Copies of this chain bind each other. A is one copy, B any other.
Amino acid sequence: MKLKVYADRMSQPSRTVLIFCKVNGIDFEEVKVDISKRQNLSPEFQEINPMKRVPAITHGRFKLFESHAILIYLASVFPGVADHWYPNDLYKRAKIHSVLDWHHSNLRNGTVPLVQNAALNPALGLPLNLQAAAEAEKNVSSSLSKIESVWFRGSGKFLLDESQPSIADLSLVCDIMQLEVLNEKDHSRILGPHKKVQQWIKDTKYATRPHFDEVHNILFRAKARLQQQRSRVNANDEAEPSLKATSQSKM
């Protein structure tokens, strides 16, 4: 029975699942669900995931949604997946669950509203909301600091001081990658202070090459498009709005 992955590569958890499958040589079919065309709301897709979100999978008659649950399932049922992705050791596994749970209510609670309000709204015909973005930026910065201080205490390249990546590394790094669509100034200000996070992104990219960049290509193209749009706006307007300027103006 063939695995089908319903995904939109513009969604960070979709990319996580796709990269995981490719890196681990899992035979699967990618089914594109274009969120910008609202295909996730179609009756056909709701048969796959009644919550109307990507990613989702079918494996024979079995259906599953939520990217963390999907990664754990894939790591558990496909025998070719190396142990470091989701170790059999109960203690290591528990720590990975803990990181993934924390991810939901911390890092991801920041990255999603930040990218939406600071970069994607104009593409959807909505105004930028720099105040909401500035709030979200605080959550992202605080989350990145915690990642470094709690899970990179030793010399390991990956979370929990491991020498090889787990599903938690891939999941969190793909989430942070979404910040690529911010303008350069904002991106540098947010990622700049976090040297360990920067190195971790590089290490995760390298450990999952060439699939990481290939699956992220759509994001790099979106980044280039947004930069062009901003340049055009700036040529007509005065200066590019930056979150920092907005949050300072509120002081």
Given A50-B146, A150-B50, check contact A90 B68 (CB 8 Å): no
Other-chain contact of A72, B51, B77, B94, B146 (Cβ < 8 Å): B94
A 61-76 binary contact with B (CB < 8 Å = 1; else 0): 0101111110011001
Dominant SS among interface residues on chain A: helix
Which of A96-104, A121-129, A172-180, A196-204 interfaces with chain B? A96-104
Q: Which residues of B are found within 8 Å of A97, using beta-carbon distances?
A: 66, 68-69, 72-73
A 142-168 binary contact with B (CB < 8 Å = 1; else 0): 000010011000000000000000000
Q: Which residues of B are found within 8 Å of A105, using beta-carbon distances?
A: 104-105, 108
- Which residues A106-141 have CB closer than 8 A to chain B? 108
- Which residues A29-82 have CB closer than 8 A to chain B? 50-51, 62, 64-69, 72-73, 76-77
Other-chain contact of A73, B90, B104, B150 (Cβ < 8 Å): B90
Q: Which residues of B are found within 8 Å of A225, using beta-carbon distances?
A: none
Q: Is the CB of B104 within 8 A of A101?
A: yes
